[in-house]
Amino acid sequence: MIAETGHFALVLALIVALVQGTVPMVGAARRHPGLMAMARPAAVTQFALVAIAFAALTHAYVTSDFSVLNVARNSHSAKPMLYKIAGVWANHEGSMLLWVLILATFGSAVALFGRNLPPTLAARVLSVQAMIAVGFLAFTLLTSNPFERLFPVPVDGRGLNPLLQDPGLAFHPPFLYLGYVGFSMAYSFAIAALIEGRVDATWARWVRPWTLAAWSFLTFGIGLGSWWAYYELGWGGWWFWDPVENASFMPWLAGTALLHSSVVVEKRGTLKGWTVFLAIVTFGLSLLGTFLVRSGVLTSVHTFAADPARGVFILGLLVLVIGGSFALFAWRGPALRGVGLFRPISREGSLLINNLLMTTAAASVLLGTLYPLILDAFDAGKVSVGAPFFNAVFVPLMVPMLAVMAVGPFLGWKRGDLAGALGHLKAAVAIVVVVGLATWALSGGPVLAILGITAALWLAAGTLTEFAGRIALFRATPAVSLGRLIRLPRSAWGMTLAHLGLAVAVAGITASATWRTESIQTLGRGEAVDVAGYTFTFLGVREVEGPNYVATRGVFTVAKDGAMIATLHPETRRYPVEGQQTTEAAIRSTFLGDLYAVIGDPTVGGDAFVTRLYFNPLVPWIWAGVLIVVIGGLVSLSDRRLRVGAPQRRPSVAAPGSEPAPA
């Protein structure tokens, strides 16, 4: 009965979305307040209905109701509660339900918090949002109904893929979707602006927080997925340029560009058409990501759905949304003229370079991801485009990017002084040269790695110098600096943290990709091996029973210079229900890197085991860097100028210190 309630609620949500997608749009065109006013209650109702549907499916999972086909296929009564709940979205149908739930959440958030939006804009935004919802609700109901019943009811479910039974992966999809779907807000605002024919600072102030929120969630989601791959897949890699990873990375790259160009719209009233275009592209890439993952067009490890009917439906939706938006953009875009003039060397200019490099990167990843599919579709041969291609393309784009990132914040709006900016960076240059040479002398290369480390260092030094300049550190008395520090707008903190986080992550990425040490061997009890100056001693294995698995747990001690520093317990887990096996790496993070141990199969005699031991330098810096970036995004999001949204509403509330004070 509860499953049917969920199904019924989902059908009602589709009907509400149909009304919300049309009536307010007509109302806005005719300036009819009553029709426009329909948008808000409709958005909230739609959210409530999708939430009921989601709660119904969650209930079926929590109570292990195997009369629901979806639950029988993807759950098992012996599964821990966390994975019963995570199981809701660890399959195709449930993940689509999560998609529409998040979409409805964003829509109702605009309805509830967007009271200071101009009425026509609010009506049009909510209407566009509902049109997207119509597409995805119809997709869910017609091709991927999660509430389908099963008869006869099986005694137990088939279980969830053990690889997905992991806390990191349990929360990976929700964050990824919060990012993907969050970009629908920027998209809806962009389409509404094209229909309205105006883009101004108020519009940008509305788009920025939503983009920032979506971008922060997406950053966190990608980081979470990468972290999972690192500790779960058992060979210490964390990014594979897998098509499904690329699917989430492309919207991130475009979203990063959008984030920066919307700053220019807000502060300087230019790059308007471009920003609208980027908003469309970013959400288009999110949809493309959904298509690539959900259609089964790439049968990759992450792709759990493989049904051509679904693929054709999403492809149609994709063509409609992207094609329709670009047609609208071609028609209405030229009306969006900017007002601000600027020189190539200026803050705007540096943000434009960010946009150029980010969009080129996104386009290149798109090209590399789709190329094998395109060749295959035209029978032009089969090629593989793997990590070596993406690394070859990506590194030359990111190095100039990092170089400009350190300088950009020093340039003034409109007309910047490059010589002056570089003058501020003398100390940074000195640090980079000294540490760069020292790294070279100590490690002996390769050149690319030295370049990566110095680029990270340059960015960190530049960012900190800029921050110090803002608070007049060492130029004014400590009291003055402290005062400035306290009054610094949150968005300035956000930028500093995000850029600093990227520097930390780049250092981690470079070092771990270049200087990792690996040792693969068969070890018997009591045998030891040296890895990067650490002595790993194998003390044997024991059998351990988990809630729904049996594990072989190895014990290693790690010593450095004769002193014991860690005990590691890597496991091989066997899941009897699913008939599968997973490896659980044992990781001890230190400031300079991770000690990483994996235990494999026993030798024929059974007394020795295949062991894989690694020292992965600076890997913790990658996760720390991603976290700092996300914190930067959230801090910036808490800036009152963004929270207040449209600034003209309550200008008197703004504290004097929170006025924009770009250096």
Binders of other proteins in range 158-177 (CB under 8 A):
161, 163
Is residue 477 involved in binding other proteins (CB under 8 A)?
no
Q: Which is nearer to other proteins, 21 or 243 (CB)?
A: 243
Is residue 576 involved in binding other proteins (CB under 8 A)?
no
> x-or-dash pattern for other proteins, window 270-309, by CB under 8 A?
--------------------------x-xxxx-xx-xx--
Q: Which is nearer to other proteins, 46 or 583 (CB)?
A: 583
- Can you tell me which of 19, 55, 393, 624 binds other proteins, judged by CB under 8 A? 393
Sequence-separated (6 or more) residues with CB below 8 Å from residue 153: 66, 67, 72
Tell me if residue 644 falls in helix, strand or coil.
coil
Contact 225, 166 (CB under 8 A): no
- Can you tell me which of 8, 371, 413, 515 binds other proteins, judged by CB under 8 A? 371
Rounded to whole angstroms, the Cα distance separating 370 from 372 reads 6
Phi and psi angles of residue 247, each rounded to the nearest 5 degrees, phi first: -60, -35
Q: Which is nearer to other proteins, 15 or 374 (CB)?
A: 374
Contact range with other proteins by CB under 8 A, out of 337-345, 452-460, 470-478, 554-562: 337-345
Is residue 269 involved in binding other proteins (CB under 8 A)?
yes
User: Nearest CA to 288 among 325, 322, 331?
Assistant: 322
- Can you tell me which of 32, 149, 198, 484 binds other proteins, judged by CB under 8 A? 198
Q: Is the dihedral of CA 150, 151, 154, 155 positive or negative?
A: positive
503-542 positions binding other proteins, by CB under 8 A: 520-522
Is residue 580 involved in binding other proteins (CB under 8 A)?
yes
Count Cβ atoms within 10 A of the Cβ of residue 308 and give its class: 0-12 exposed, 13-18 middle, 19 or more buried: exposed
Give least dist CB 657 to other proteins, A: 30
Is residue 397 involved in binding other proteins (CB under 8 A)?
yes
21-60 positions binding other proteins, by CB under 8 A: 31
Give least dist CB 341 to other proteins, A: 6
581-610 positions binding other proteins, by CB under 8 A: 581-583, 598, 600-601, 610
- Can you tell me which of 40, 347, 612, 641 binds other proteins, judged by CB under 8 A? 612
Q: Degrees (nearest 5) of the Cα angle 602, 607, 608? A: 55
Q: Which is nearer to other proteins, 57 or 365 (CB)?
A: 365
Contact 75, 160 (CB under 8 A): yes
Sequence-separated (6 or more) residues with CB below 8 Å from residue 651: none
Contact 425, 407 (CB under 8 A): yes
Give least dist CB 506 to other proteins, A: 20
- Can you tell me which of 15, 377, 383, 476 binds other proteins, judged by CB under 8 A? 383
Crossing angle of helices 92-113 and 272-295, rounded to 10°: 150
Is residue 662 involved in binding other proteins (CB under 8 A)?
no
Q: Which is nearer to other proteins, 557 or 581 (CB)?
A: 581
Q: Which is nearer to other proteins, 300 or 537 (CB)?
A: 300
Q: Which is nearer to other proteins, 365 or 471 (CB)?
A: 365
Q: Which is nearer to other proteins, 369 or 439 (CB)?
A: 369
Q: Which is nearer to other proteins, 34 or 381 (CB)?
A: 381
Give least dist CB 67 to other proteins, A: 17
Q: Which is nearer to other proteins, 160 or 622 (CB)?
A: 160
Q: Any idea of the CA torsion for 451, 457, 460, 462, to the nearest 10 degrees?
A: -80
Beta strand 571-575 pairing with 550-560:
antiparallel
Give every strand in the sheet of 586-590, ordered side by side. 517-524, 608-617, 593-602, 586-590
Is residue 458 involved in binding other proteins (CB under 8 A)?
no
218-257 positions binding other proteins, by CB under 8 A: 232-235, 237, 240-243
Alpha helices (H) along 378-470: 387-407, 418-424, 426-443, 447-470
Percent helix / strand / coil, the chain, rounded to 5: 65, 10, 25
Rounded to whole angstroms, the Cα distance separating 472 from 479 reads 10
# of chain residues touching other proteins (CB under 8 A): 76
